[in-house]
Amino acid sequence: MLEVDGGIVFWILSFVILVSGFMVVSLKNVFHCALALVLCLFTVAGLYILLDAEFLAAAQVLIYVGSVAILLIFEVMLTSKLADKRITQSNDQALVGFFICTLFAVAAYLLIKFNTIWYPLAKSALPSDNILTIGKYLMTEFMLPFEVVSILLVAALIGAIALARTEKS
Amino acid sequence: MFETFYPILFLVLFATFLAFMLVAFSIILGRRTSLGKKFQAYECGITPEGSTKDPVPIKFFQVAILFLLFDIEVIFLYPWAIVSRQLGWFGFIEMLVFIVILLVGYFYVLGRGALKWD
Protein backbone atom coordinates (compact mmCIF):
# COMPACT_ATOMS: atom_id res chain seq x y z
CA MET A 1 0.00 0.00 0.00
CA LEU A 2 1.40 3.34 -0.94
CA GLU A 3 1.75 5.85 1.84
CA VAL A 4 0.10 9.19 1.35
CA ASP A 5 0.89 12.05 3.66
CA GLY A 6 -2.34 13.17 5.31
CA GLY A 7 -1.20 16.78 5.05
CA ILE A 8 -1.24 16.74 1.24
CA VAL A 9 -4.71 15.21 1.20
CA PHE A 10 -5.81 17.88 3.65
CA TRP A 11 -4.59 20.67 1.40
CA ILE A 12 -6.19 19.18 -1.72
CA LEU A 13 -9.51 18.72 0.07
CA SER A 14 -9.37 22.22 1.53
CA PHE A 15 -8.64 23.63 -1.90
CA VAL A 16 -11.65 21.86 -3.43
CA ILE A 17 -13.86 22.96 -0.52
CA LEU A 18 -12.82 26.59 -0.90
CA VAL A 19 -13.17 26.62 -4.69
CA SER A 20 -16.59 24.93 -4.66
CA GLY A 21 -17.70 27.12 -1.75
CA PHE A 22 -16.71 30.17 -3.74
CA MET A 23 -18.63 28.81 -6.72
CA VAL A 24 -21.75 28.48 -4.54
CA VAL A 25 -21.73 32.19 -3.76
CA SER A 26 -20.51 33.47 -7.11
CA LEU A 27 -22.11 31.47 -9.96
CA LYS A 28 -24.86 33.18 -11.91
CA ASN A 29 -27.14 30.17 -12.35
CA VAL A 30 -28.73 29.11 -9.08
CA PHE A 31 -28.91 25.48 -10.26
CA HIS A 32 -25.14 25.44 -10.78
CA CYS A 33 -24.76 26.90 -7.29
CA ALA A 34 -26.68 23.93 -5.89
CA LEU A 35 -24.44 21.48 -7.77
CA ALA A 36 -21.32 23.26 -6.47
CA LEU A 37 -22.73 22.92 -2.97
CA VAL A 38 -22.98 19.14 -3.48
CA LEU A 39 -19.28 19.01 -4.34
CA CYS A 40 -18.47 21.18 -1.33
CA LEU A 41 -20.45 18.97 1.07
CA PHE A 42 -18.94 15.79 -0.38
CA THR A 43 -15.41 17.12 0.07
CA VAL A 44 -16.18 18.03 3.67
CA ALA A 45 -17.01 14.34 4.14
CA GLY A 46 -13.50 13.59 2.86
CA LEU A 47 -12.14 15.91 5.51
CA TYR A 48 -14.05 13.99 8.18
CA ILE A 49 -12.51 10.73 6.97
CA LEU A 50 -9.09 12.35 7.19
CA LEU A 51 -9.85 13.16 10.82
CA ASP A 52 -10.89 9.51 11.46
CA ALA A 53 -14.51 10.55 12.03
CA GLU A 54 -15.98 7.88 9.76
CA PHE A 55 -19.47 8.02 11.23
CA LEU A 56 -19.64 11.75 10.71
CA ALA A 57 -18.44 11.26 7.14
CA ALA A 58 -21.11 8.64 6.48
CA ALA A 59 -23.74 10.92 7.98
CA GLN A 60 -22.49 13.78 5.86
CA VAL A 61 -22.72 11.76 2.65
CA LEU A 62 -26.05 10.13 3.52
CA ILE A 63 -27.85 13.19 4.84
CA TYR A 64 -26.22 16.21 3.27
CA VAL A 65 -25.08 14.88 -0.10
CA GLY A 66 -27.83 12.27 -0.27
CA SER A 67 -30.93 14.14 0.70
CA VAL A 68 -30.35 17.80 1.59
CA ALA A 69 -28.81 18.31 -1.83
CA ILE A 70 -31.74 16.54 -3.53
CA LEU A 71 -34.13 18.69 -1.55
CA LEU A 72 -32.26 21.82 -2.54
CA ILE A 73 -32.29 20.88 -6.22
CA PHE A 74 -36.02 20.13 -6.05
CA GLU A 75 -36.53 23.50 -4.43
CA VAL A 76 -34.76 25.20 -7.30
CA MET A 77 -36.83 23.23 -9.80
CA LEU A 78 -40.05 23.92 -7.90
CA THR A 79 -39.73 27.65 -7.90
CA SER A 80 -40.58 28.19 -11.55
CA LYS A 81 -38.50 30.86 -13.24
CA LEU A 82 -35.72 30.54 -10.69
CA ALA A 83 -33.93 27.65 -12.38
CA ASP A 84 -33.41 29.69 -15.50
CA LYS A 85 -32.81 33.06 -13.98
CA ARG A 86 -29.44 34.75 -13.90
CA ILE A 87 -28.85 36.01 -10.42
CA THR A 88 -26.51 38.70 -9.26
CA GLN A 89 -24.73 37.53 -6.16
CA SER A 90 -23.51 40.90 -5.01
CA ASN A 91 -24.98 44.07 -3.66
CA ASP A 92 -24.21 47.69 -2.98
CA GLN A 93 -22.31 46.84 0.17
CA ALA A 94 -19.81 44.63 -1.65
CA LEU A 95 -16.82 46.85 -0.85
CA VAL A 96 -17.66 47.14 2.85
CA GLY A 97 -18.36 43.41 2.98
CA PHE A 98 -15.03 42.62 1.35
CA PHE A 99 -13.21 44.85 3.82
CA ILE A 100 -14.86 43.28 6.86
CA CYS A 101 -14.34 39.75 5.54
CA THR A 102 -10.67 40.46 4.90
CA LEU A 103 -10.32 41.79 8.43
CA PHE A 104 -11.95 38.66 9.83
CA ALA A 105 -9.84 36.38 7.64
CA VAL A 106 -6.62 38.03 8.81
CA ALA A 107 -7.74 37.86 12.44
CA ALA A 108 -8.75 34.20 12.09
CA TYR A 109 -5.47 33.37 10.35
CA LEU A 110 -3.43 34.97 13.12
CA LEU A 111 -5.43 33.19 15.80
CA ILE A 112 -5.09 29.82 14.08
CA LYS A 113 -1.43 30.35 13.30
CA PHE A 114 -0.42 31.09 16.85
CA ASN A 115 -2.87 29.05 18.85
CA THR A 116 -3.77 25.73 17.25
CA ILE A 117 -2.31 22.94 15.22
CA TRP A 118 -5.45 21.75 13.51
CA TYR A 119 -4.63 18.68 11.55
CA PRO A 120 -2.37 16.52 13.74
CA LEU A 121 -4.11 17.70 16.91
CA ALA A 122 -7.54 16.57 15.83
CA LYS A 123 -6.15 13.34 14.46
CA SER A 124 -4.55 12.23 17.69
CA ALA A 125 -7.47 13.36 19.82
CA LEU A 126 -9.99 10.99 18.30
CA PRO A 127 -10.01 7.26 19.08
CA SER A 128 -10.17 5.00 16.05
CA ASP A 129 -13.31 3.21 17.26
CA ASN A 130 -15.24 6.42 17.70
CA ILE A 131 -18.48 5.03 16.23
CA LEU A 132 -18.51 2.53 19.11
CA THR A 133 -18.13 5.36 21.59
CA ILE A 134 -20.85 7.38 19.86
CA GLY A 135 -23.21 4.41 20.00
CA LYS A 136 -22.44 3.69 23.63
CA TYR A 137 -23.01 7.27 24.77
CA LEU A 138 -26.07 7.72 22.59
CA MET A 139 -27.70 4.64 24.09
CA THR A 140 -26.81 5.22 27.75
CA GLU A 141 -25.87 8.72 28.82
CA PHE A 142 -27.73 10.59 26.10
CA MET A 143 -30.73 8.29 26.03
CA LEU A 144 -33.30 11.04 26.55
CA PRO A 145 -31.98 13.36 23.79
CA PHE A 146 -31.88 10.32 21.51
CA GLU A 147 -35.57 9.60 22.10
CA VAL A 148 -36.43 13.28 21.81
CA VAL A 149 -34.85 13.24 18.34
CA SER A 150 -37.57 10.84 17.19
CA ILE A 151 -40.27 13.19 18.51
CA LEU A 152 -38.56 16.06 16.70
CA LEU A 153 -38.53 14.00 13.50
CA VAL A 154 -42.24 13.24 13.85
CA ALA A 155 -42.92 16.94 14.38
CA ALA A 156 -40.94 17.69 11.22
CA LEU A 157 -42.90 14.98 9.33
CA ILE A 158 -46.22 16.50 10.34
CA GLY A 159 -44.97 19.98 9.54
CA ALA A 160 -43.76 18.94 6.11
CA ILE A 161 -47.10 17.32 5.28
CA ALA A 162 -49.07 20.30 6.60
CA LEU A 163 -46.99 22.75 4.55
CA ALA A 164 -46.83 20.85 1.30
CA ARG A 165 -50.42 19.55 1.45
CA THR A 166 -52.53 20.20 -1.58
CA GLU A 167 -56.15 20.93 -0.78
CA LYS A 168 -58.49 18.42 -2.34
CA SER A 169 -61.72 20.38 -1.81
CA MET B 1 -7.01 4.37 9.07
CA PHE B 2 -7.16 6.65 6.08
CA GLU B 3 -5.75 3.83 3.96
CA THR B 4 -9.02 1.89 4.16
CA PHE B 5 -10.69 4.64 2.16
CA TYR B 6 -8.34 4.35 -0.82
CA PRO B 7 -10.92 2.42 -2.92
CA ILE B 8 -13.41 5.28 -2.48
CA LEU B 9 -10.73 7.83 -3.30
CA PHE B 10 -9.81 5.94 -6.47
CA LEU B 11 -13.48 5.58 -7.38
CA VAL B 12 -13.98 9.33 -7.07
CA LEU B 13 -10.82 10.03 -9.08
CA PHE B 14 -11.78 7.52 -11.75
CA ALA B 15 -15.33 8.88 -12.03
CA THR B 16 -14.00 12.41 -12.41
CA PHE B 17 -11.42 11.26 -14.97
CA LEU B 18 -14.04 9.31 -16.93
CA ALA B 19 -16.46 12.23 -16.99
CA PHE B 20 -13.81 14.60 -18.29
CA MET B 21 -12.46 12.06 -20.80
CA LEU B 22 -15.87 11.28 -22.29
CA VAL B 23 -16.64 14.95 -22.82
CA ALA B 24 -13.12 15.61 -24.14
CA PHE B 25 -13.28 12.68 -26.59
CA SER B 26 -16.61 13.75 -27.98
CA ILE B 27 -15.26 17.25 -28.46
CA ILE B 28 -12.02 16.10 -30.09
CA LEU B 29 -13.26 13.16 -32.17
CA GLY B 30 -16.84 14.16 -32.91
CA ARG B 31 -17.87 15.97 -36.05
CA ARG B 32 -19.79 19.10 -35.43
CA THR B 33 -22.93 19.72 -37.36
CA SER B 34 -25.43 22.35 -36.35
CA LEU B 35 -28.73 20.95 -37.47
CA GLY B 36 -31.77 22.28 -35.65
CA LYS B 37 -32.82 18.86 -34.39
CA LYS B 38 -29.52 18.29 -32.64
CA PHE B 39 -30.34 21.00 -30.16
CA GLN B 40 -33.52 19.27 -29.05
CA ALA B 41 -33.64 17.18 -25.91
CA TYR B 42 -33.44 13.44 -26.65
CA GLU B 43 -36.82 11.95 -25.88
CA CYS B 44 -36.53 8.36 -27.16
CA GLY B 45 -37.26 9.45 -30.70
CA ILE B 46 -40.45 11.30 -29.77
CA THR B 47 -40.64 15.01 -30.36
CA PRO B 48 -40.33 16.62 -26.94
CA GLU B 49 -43.27 18.58 -25.64
CA GLY B 50 -43.17 21.75 -23.61
CA SER B 51 -40.23 23.34 -21.89
CA THR B 52 -37.67 21.68 -19.63
CA LYS B 53 -37.80 24.67 -17.33
CA ASP B 54 -41.34 24.02 -16.16
CA PRO B 55 -41.78 23.84 -12.38
CA VAL B 56 -42.06 20.28 -11.07
CA PRO B 57 -45.11 19.23 -9.03
CA ILE B 58 -44.90 19.77 -5.26
CA LYS B 59 -45.28 15.99 -4.78
CA PHE B 60 -41.63 15.46 -5.65
CA PHE B 61 -40.65 17.93 -2.99
CA GLN B 62 -42.89 16.24 -0.46
CA VAL B 63 -41.35 12.84 -1.15
CA ALA B 64 -37.87 14.37 -0.96
CA ILE B 65 -38.58 15.92 2.43
CA LEU B 66 -39.99 12.63 3.75
CA PHE B 67 -36.93 10.83 2.41
CA LEU B 68 -34.69 13.30 4.24
CA LEU B 69 -36.49 12.72 7.54
CA PHE B 70 -36.36 8.93 7.28
CA ASP B 71 -32.73 9.22 6.19
CA ILE B 72 -31.96 10.97 9.47
CA GLU B 73 -33.76 8.16 11.25
CA VAL B 74 -31.63 5.55 9.51
CA ILE B 75 -28.38 7.30 10.40
CA PHE B 76 -29.19 6.72 14.07
CA LEU B 77 -29.40 2.99 13.44
CA TYR B 78 -25.68 2.74 12.62
CA PRO B 79 -24.24 3.60 16.05
CA TRP B 80 -26.93 1.46 17.64
CA ALA B 81 -26.11 -1.50 15.40
CA ILE B 82 -22.46 -1.36 16.49
CA VAL B 83 -23.26 -1.56 20.21
CA SER B 84 -26.53 -3.50 20.06
CA ARG B 85 -24.90 -6.77 21.16
CA GLN B 86 -23.25 -5.13 24.15
CA LEU B 87 -26.43 -3.41 25.26
CA GLY B 88 -28.72 -6.38 24.74
CA TRP B 89 -32.41 -6.01 25.45
CA PHE B 90 -32.00 -2.56 26.97
CA GLY B 91 -30.70 -1.14 23.73
CA PHE B 92 -33.28 -3.07 21.74
CA ILE B 93 -36.20 -1.62 23.70
CA GLU B 94 -34.67 1.84 23.47
CA MET B 95 -34.48 1.53 19.71
CA LEU B 96 -38.00 0.10 19.64
CA VAL B 97 -39.32 3.22 21.38
CA PHE B 98 -37.43 5.37 18.86
CA ILE B 99 -38.86 3.46 15.92
CA VAL B 100 -42.41 3.31 17.33
CA ILE B 101 -42.52 7.09 17.82
CA LEU B 102 -41.44 7.49 14.21
CA LEU B 103 -43.95 4.88 13.13
CA VAL B 104 -46.69 7.16 14.49
CA GLY B 105 -45.42 9.84 12.13
CA TYR B 106 -45.27 7.31 9.31
CA PHE B 107 -48.90 6.31 9.80
CA TYR B 108 -49.86 9.98 9.94
CA VAL B 109 -48.15 10.46 6.57
CA LEU B 110 -49.96 7.40 5.19
CA GLY B 111 -53.27 8.58 6.64
CA ARG B 112 -52.97 11.98 5.06
CA GLY B 113 -52.36 10.31 1.72
CA ALA B 114 -49.04 12.05 1.25
CA LEU B 115 -47.50 9.00 -0.42
CA LYS B 116 -50.39 8.53 -2.83
CA TRP B 117 -49.50 9.38 -6.37
CA ASP B 118 -52.46 10.28 -8.50
Assigned domain for A142 exists: yes
Average of per-residue pLDDT values in chain B? 83
Is the CB of B64 less than 8 angstroms away from the CB of A128? no
Residue A84 domain flag: yes
Query: Is there a domain that residue A44 lies in?
Result: yes
The domain boundary residue, chosen from A104, A122, A140: A122
**pLDDT(B66) > 90:** no
Does A68 share its domain with A150? Answer: no
A57 phi, psi to nearest 5 deg: -65, -45
- Report yes or no: A147 and B101 within 8 Å, Cβ to Cβ: yes
Contact by Cβ (8 Å): B92, A106: no
Q: Identify the segments of chain A with pLDDT beneath 70.
A: 1-6, 80-91, 116-128, 165-169
Q: What angle do CA A28, A34, A37 make, to 5 degrees?
A: 110
A86 forms beta bridges with A29
- Residue A16 has a pLDDT of 93
Residues contacting A93, CB < 8 A, separation 6+: none
| Model pLDDT, residue A169 | 41
Q: Are residues A35 and A65 in the same domain?
A: yes
Digit-coded pLDDT (tens) for B87-111 = 888 888 988 999 999 999 889 888 8
Picking from A73, A45, A71, the residue whose alpha carbon sits closest to that of residue A59 is A45
Contact call for A75 and B61, based on CB within 8 A: yes
Give the closest residue to A138 by CA, choosing from B82, B73, B85, B79. B79
Q: Domain for residue A65, yes or no?
A: yes
More confident: B113 or A168: B113
Residues A27 and A13 in one domain: yes
DSSP A21-54: HHHHHH-SBHHHHHHHHHHHHHHHHHHHHHTT-H
Residue with the larger pLDDT of the pair B22 and A136: B22
Amino acid at A6: G
Q: Roughly how many angstroms between the first and final C-alpha of chain A, as a whole number?
A: 65
Question: Three-class SS of residue A86?
Answer: strand
Q: Give residue A139's domain range.
A: 127-169
List of chain A residues whose C-beta atoms are within 8 Å of the C-beta of residue B109: 157, 161
A79 and A150 within one domain = no
Q: Say whether both A91 and A111 belong to one domain.
A: yes
Residues 42-71 of A with CB under 8 A from B: 49-50, 52, 55, 58-59, 62-63, 66-68, 70-71
Contacts with B97 from chain A: Cβ below 8 Å: 147, 150
Q: What is the pLDDT of residue A1?
A: 44
Same structural domain for residues A12 and A86?
Answer: yes
In a domain, A1, yes or no: no
Cβ–Cβ contact B94 with A under 8 A: yes
Q: Domain with A36 in it: what CATH number?
A: 1.20.120.1200
**pLDDT value of position B63:** 84
d(CA A63, CA A104): 30
Q: What ipTM is given for this predicted complex?
A: 0.71
In this structure, the answer to whether residues A143 and A118 fall within a common structural domain is no
Name the residue type at position A20.
S
The burial of A78, by beta-carbon neighbours within 10 Å (0-12 exposed, 13-18 middle, 19 or more buried), is given as middle
Residue A149 lies in a domain: yes
Q: Note whether A100 contacts B: Cβ–Cβ < 8 A.
A: no
Chain B residues close to A136, C-beta within 8 Å:
83, 86
Portion of chain B with pLDDT greater than 70, in percent:
92
Check B75 against A136: CB less than 8 A apart: no
pLDDT (0 to 100) of residue A39 = 92
Residues of B (8-37) whose Cβ lies below 8 Å from A: none
Q: Do residues A80 and A113 share a domain? A: yes
Bridge partners of B73, per DSSP, are none
Do A141 and A116 share a structural domain? no
In a domain, A54, yes or no: yes
Cα separation, A15 vs A36, whole angstroms: 13
Domain stop point among A122, A138, A158: A122
**A114 and A145 share a domain?**
no
Name all domains of chain B by residue range, CATH numbers in brackets: 2-112 (1.20.58)
pLDDT at res. A114: 77
Please tell me whether residues A112 and A138 are part of one structural domain: no
**pTM (2 d.p.):** 0.74
The domain tally of chain A equals 2
What per-residue confidence (pLDDT) applies to A90? 64
From B61, B65, B101, residue closest to A151, measured CB to CB: B101
- Between CA B87 and CA B94 the distance in angstroms is 10
Let me know whether A113 and A140 are in one domain: no
Average pLDDT, integer, range B79-84 = 86
Rg, chain B, Cα only: 24
